[in-house]
Chain A
Amino acid sequence: MITISGIKRILPHRYPMLLVDRVDELVPGERLTARKAVTANEPWYRELSAGATDEQHAYPPVLLVESWCQAAGVLAAWDTPNPDVLAGQVMLFGSISEVVFHRPVLPGDVLEHRIRLVRALSDTVIFEGEALVDGEPVLEVGRVVMAMRPATELTEAAAGHVVADQAVAAARAVVTDRAVATN
Chain B
Amino acid sequence: MPVRAAGPVQGTPKVLANGPDLVAVEVTVEPGEQVFPGHYPGFPIFPGVCVVEYVHLGALATAPAPGLRLEAIESTRFLSPVFPGDRLVVELDWQRKGGSWRCKATAGTGRGRAAAVRLRFAEGSAR
Across the interface, name the chain A residue whose C-beta is closest to B22: A182
Pairwise interchain contact B39-A92, C-beta atoms closer than 8 A: no
Seen from chain B, the residues whose Cβ lies within 8 Å of a Cβ on chain A are 3-8, 10, 16-17, 19-22, 24, 26, 34-35, 37-43, 45, 47-50, 52-53, 56, 70-78, 80-81, 83, 86-87, 89, 91, 108-111, 125, 127
Interface size class of A (residues with CB under 8 A): 35 or more
Pairwise interchain contact B16-A164, C-beta atoms closer than 8 A: no
8 Å CB interface, A132-150 against B: none
Residue A37 CB within 8 A of the other chain: no
Pairwise interchain contact A158-B38, C-beta atoms closer than 8 A: no
- Ranked nearest first, the 9 interchain pairs of A and B with the lowest CB-CB distance are A168-B110, A179-B17, A167-B110, A17-B38, A164-B110, A97-B75, A99-B73, A62-B49, A14-B38
User: How many Cβ-Cβ contacts under 8 Å join chain A to chain B?
Assistant: 162
Which residues of B sit under 8 angstroms from A122, Cβ to Cβ?
none
Query: Given A14-B40, A17-B38, A61-B70, is A168 in contact with B7 using a C-beta cutoff of 8 Å?
Result: no
Tell me the minimal C-beta distance from B122 to chain A in angstroms.
Answer: 10
Contact of B37 among A14, A99, A103, A154 (CB under 8 A): A14
Which residues of A sit under 8 angstroms from B19, Cβ to Cβ?
179, 182-183
8 Å CB interface, A58-102 against B: 58-63, 65-66, 69, 85-86, 92-101
Query: Given A17-B47, A167-B110, A168-B110, is A96 in contact with B75 using a C-beta cutoff of 8 Å?
Result: yes
Contact of A157 among B16, B21, B77, B80 (CB under 8 A): B80
Residue A176 CB within 8 A of the other chain: yes
Which residues of A sit under 8 angstroms from B20, Cβ to Cβ?
182
Tell me the minimal C-beta distance from A50 to chain B in angstroms.
Answer: 11
Pairwise interchain contact B52-A62, C-beta atoms closer than 8 A: yes
Residue A175 CB within 8 A of the other chain: yes
Stretch of A27-35, A40-48, A109-117, A123-131 at the chain-chain interface: A40-48
* Complex-state Cα separation, A43 to B72, whole angstroms: 24
Query: Given A12-B40, A62-B49, is A101 in contact with B89 using a C-beta cutoff of 8 Å?
Result: no
Query: Given A17-B38, A65-B73, A171-B89, is A49 in contact with B3 using a C-beta cutoff of 8 Å?
Result: yes
18 interchain pairs, CB-CB under 8 A: A12-B41, A17-B38, A44-B8, A48-B6, A52-B6, A61-B73, A62-B8, A62-B52, A66-B47, A93-B48, A100-B72, A101-B71, A168-B110, A171-B109, A175-B16, A175-B17, A178-B21, A179-B22
User: Other than the known A100-B72, A170-B110, what 17 A-B pairs have Cβ atoms closer than 8 Å?
Assistant: A15-B37, A18-B38, A48-B6, A49-B3, A56-B5, A60-B8, A94-B78, A97-B73, A97-B74, A97-B76, A155-B43, A171-B108, A178-B21, A178-B24, A179-B16, A179-B22, A183-B19
